[in-house]
Structure 1
């Protein structure tokens, strides 16, 4: 026997919706039905995360929804193709909280759940007050390597506000690359091209559940090991470690995320002519007072080795994130 009840439950205010999502609350009951397959003292909850405008960037990576059920935590993985998770509860009144990351407000749902009921519930994560904050995309430097001297045009395509470039950047860099990595612009030689930019924090979707977690005293060995796996040459590795290492090793505990290639495109993409293979790697880290609990189904994403064949570029940069973001 199935009996469907049409119920709309708004657990949070309609204030603060992003453009184009005005009609969606944070949480609502899609369907409430009674099923003979469910025990009279039990409830089945199925949650569907609405990401119509791809704010969660599920088309690029999975996300972890952290759920607190009457204060006890569980974690569920959602993807673009399967933005659904479920769990049973005992009948009665429960308080639920749902959290993705600091870019989105936590969602709360408190209500009485009836025995034998099957609830389908929609979730709509909305931008938090952190979304107005700015973070600095630091030290993206671009090395160019070509099989012979090669004239190039290179553009940094970003909505972020460029802060400083070297050499001077005016819509593009125009110069000549070489096999040993030397770049010539207007008769002057450079080891790399440099830019940095201010970026709204809500343009970077970070999930610290997938972070490497380490102590500051282990930073140098960790970076050397990771960069060797990625395929940095000695100069690139020295440039990278001497920039990030001193700052990171001062932290007692830290979490580290790696962004690579297409995952960096929402921050900035590179347009180069003629075509160069692009090897891009960004380091993202923050100091933390405690480790995240990482369950077995959470797989830490490690950077892949670079392709250093033919004409190619190497870009590295990164961001230090405030502990509460």
Structure 2
């Protein structure tokens, strides 16, 4: 018995990827919306989501890791397994990756070099459009360059973001968009085995402009700081374009 316990302890100590811990989110948890119809109880499916709830696609969240030295890290996205619609590379197990990260942002996964960790999922997250940015057709490139620089994305991250999202802006024409801060961070928590010094999560909700959007207040963005071990994630959602009513998660 003693030999078995000693062997198990030795195996645990030699495992290069510690179990991830949920990162303290940079924003306060949003207050839940009070239900007006207290006598109505919505039916729920096995996943805890109401039937016929409106789900939105969380598109192209890309996770970049910049440790101060080469590190073996475990990174997780704390969602239910059947919410994910795409994951690249595939999870090591359950909902997490084991990777070796280098200070230049290079990631090693199963002896292959990759630029970032990518996932997409369906979520019932509520999008907040009380304030934001009214972007006219043809002005999206300048808007993204200025705003992403303010949020402290580096040149590589800005290029990747704009390569993916600029065609969507151009297709929609005039748009109203808003960065989802607290609601996104608490709807899709990240977990990592080593606490970062800086965490920057950028999630942009986009919709075709509606009457009155140009009169809404301009969103005030937080002052992000990049120092020490930094994690950056960007993604977005097209509201009323990718959202859909479903009876269950596929």
TM-score, reference length from structure 1: 0.56
Which segments of 5 or more consecutive residues in structure 2 lack a partner in the other structure? 1-27, 43-49, 244-250
SS in 2 for 1:168: coil
Cα displacement (A) at 1:124: 2.0
Equivalent residue for 1:165? 87
Offset, 1:123: 8.3
Q: Considering fraction of residues, name the structure with more strand.
A: 1
Q: CA RMSD in A?
A: 3.0
- In 2, distance between residues paired with 1:236 and 1:145? 12
Which residue of the other structure, out of 284, 288, 292, is the alignment partner of 2:213? 292
**For the residues of structure 2 that align with 1:258 and 1:123, how far apart are their CA atoms?**
25
1:124 aligns with 2:94: no
1:264 is matched with: 184
C-alpha contact 1:258 1:281 (8 A) present in aligned 2? yes
Q: Which residue of 298, 306, 310 corresponds with 2:224?
A: 306
Contact 2:74–2:192 (Cα < 8 Å) also in 1? yes
Shift of 1:217: 1.3
**Is the aligned partner of 1:153 residue 2:74?**
yes
User: Matched residue pairs, number?
Assistant: 203
Q: What do the CA deviations read for 1:107-159 (whole angstroms, capped 9, x no partner)?
A: xxxxxxxxxxxxxxx98278999962221100000000011101111110124
Aligned to 1:188: 112
How much has 1:213 moved relative to structure 2? Answer: 1.2
Structural mapping, 1:138-287, within 5 Å? 138-159=59-80, 161-169=83-91, 170-171=93-94, 172-200=96-124, 203-204=125-126, 206-260=127-181, 262-276=182-196, 277-287=198-208
Partner of 1:322: 240
C-alpha distance 139-224 of structure 1, shift in aligned 2 (>3 A): same
Check conservation: 1:220, 1:249, Cα contact below 8 A.
no
SS at match of 1:245: helix
Q: Tell me which structure has the larger Cα radius of gyration.
A: 1
Question: 3-state DSSP class of the match of 2:99?
Answer: strand
Q: Distance between the aligned counterparts of 2:66 and 2:35, measured in 1?
A: 47
Counterpart mapping for 1:99-114 below 5 A: none
1:268-310 alpha-carbon deviations (Å, 9 max, x no partner): 010101112321010101012423374xxx7433332332211
Q: 1:300 to 1:187 in 2, by over 3 A?
A: same
**Which protein is richer in helix relative to its size?**
2
Question: What is the Cα deviation at residue 312 of structure 1?
Answer: 1.3
Residues 259 and 303 in structure 1, CA contact (< 8 A), matched pair in contact too: no
Q: Matches of 1:281 and 1:224 in 2, distance apart?
A: 14
TM-score by length of 2: 0.72
Partner SS for 1:216: coil
Written as runs of structure 1 = structure 2, the 5 A alignment for 1:4-83 is 60=30
Q: Which runs of 4+ in 1 moved over 6 A?
A: 125-130
